[in-house]
Structure 1
Amino acid sequence: MDARPSFTRLGVERLNAFSDGVFAIASTLLVLELHSPDGLTAEALRAGLRDNIPSLLTYLLSFMVVGIFWVRHHQILSLARSVTPGLLALNMIFLVLIALIPFPTSLLGNYSADPLAPAVYATVVGLAVLANMALMVFIQRRPDVRRPGVRPALIRAQLLRPALSAVVVFASVPVAFLVSATAAELTWLLLVPIRFLASRGVRQGVLEDQEERR
């Protein structure tokens, strides 16, 4: 009998549950960066609240980013039927980056005018996107991990959206240093139309795959 631990017995559900816990902690740490000013006059309170606006906006941005990662992570793990050491390692790398997001969020909220702040933020988020893609590629290439009925071509079609997102996020790093921190943050707005166009490409890939199977 093989005495080595069976990673398959961990199950995708347990991996999902552990991952959900990390996402919940990361979301909670984000809000801890918001502080209520104490012992201020009415006029000073208004000024203090205005000073907190960048931190509030950064919190909303990061909460949305973490939420999108959470939804996408569940979609990715729904493609898997078993957990292997490789899948477990890639998932841990991804979760490390998710847990790290509150740190660049704090930097961006407190030093939004410094190019280093959006550069660090974009780097962490971009690496998380790449880690997410690595999970998808691993599942695509491993029939022993991939759920029956999930065709590799469908997973390849779904790689377009995160790939384009990674390009935009990493492109904002040199923009921050060569142009300005504000310009780098505005670059992130390109993610909205890009994700929309990529979603159309994914739907087209699904339709083509369905036609091939008929």
Structure 2
Amino acid sequence: MSRLIPTRRGLDRLINFSDATVAIAITLLLLPLVDAAADARADHVWEFLAEHRGTLIAFVVSFAVIARMWTMHHRLFEVVRSYSPTLMRINLVWLASIAFLPFASNMLAAAGQSAAARVMYIGTIAVSSLMFALMEARVLRDPALRTDEGRGELRPANSWLTFGAVLLALILTIAVPTPGIWWLLLLVPAGWASDIIERRGRRARWTDQADTTA
């Protein structure tokens, strides 16, 4: 088997393929609503929206999840200058979770009262969060994969806190299923904690730089 030799063209193809997969996943989220709209009548719009409320909520939540995941992915690859077979494999698993999310979202909309549908939905987000955290950890550990200033732009605490919050939401969904996907609101305090850690890290870096130049 020939050894993979990373190139700039290869990195561009990796990023473009990732962006295209995310774009297709977002499009697939909307297809059930597009299909259902064919049966809508002008004098029953509000009834139609009420009837498909679950699908609408699932679309909004899933769009927000995918958008956040893509934003984090975009931020990470802004500082990536090369790739490795390991990074590429982790990215492919991340993409698989993103591509699967529309199916999990539609299952949630169709069977929202099913514990299995909720577990599958939150579990998919947990896999996506874990894969991103692993990608960022890989880039953080290997200076050959990132730009010289890239280390300061990475936020591993945010990635692992996000995964931890989603994993806790998954466990609580199994143990206490009544709130359902509302357990994902645990991401809010996780974001607050991440911001606090990031601010402390910036202050520590500024202090170190000041001591160095003094």
Post-superposition Cα deviations, 1:122-174, rounded to whole Å, max 9, x if no partner, equal 100011000000111111111211211333x764xx22222222222222334
Structure number with the higher helix fraction is 2
Gaps of 5+ in 2: none
Deviations 1:170-192 (A, max 9, x none): 22334333332x41322111212
User: Which string of whole-angstrom CA distances, capped at 9 and with x for unpartnered residues, describes residues 42-78 of structure 1?
Assistant: 56x6544312001101100000111001110011112
TM-score by length of 1: 0.86
Counterparts of 1:71 and 1:39 in 2: how far apart (Å)?
34
Conserved? CA contact 2:162–2:187, under 8 Å: yes
Counterpart CA distance in 1 for 2:42 and 2:12 is: 52
Residues 145 and 41 of structure 1, relative CA distance in 2, 3 Å threshold: closer
- CA shift for structure 1 position 33: 2.0
Letter in 2 for 1:38: D
Q: Say if 1:17 and 1:119 are closer, same or farther in 2 by CA, change over 3 A.
A: same
Aligned length: 207
In the other structure, the counterpart of 1:14 is 13
User: Are the counterparts in 1 of residues 4 and 85 from structure 2 also a CA contact under 8 Å?
Assistant: no
Query: Quick one: distance in 2 between partners of 1:58 and 1:96?
Result: 19
- Computed over aligned residues only, the root mean square deviation of the Cα atoms, in angstroms, reads 2.3
Q: In the TM superposition, what are the counterparts of 1:83-98 in structure 2 within 5 Å?
A: 83-98=83-98
User: CA offsets, 1:21-48, max 9 Å, x none?
Assistant: 11100100000121226276956x6544
Tell me which amino acid in the other structure corresponds to 2:14: L
After TM superposition, the structure 1 = structure 2 runs for residues 1-214 of structure 1, keeping only pairs within 5 Å, are: 4-34=3-33, 35-36=36-37, 38=39, 42=43, 46-151=46-151, 155=154, 158-180=155-177, 182-214=178-210
- Percent identity, aligned pairs only, is 27
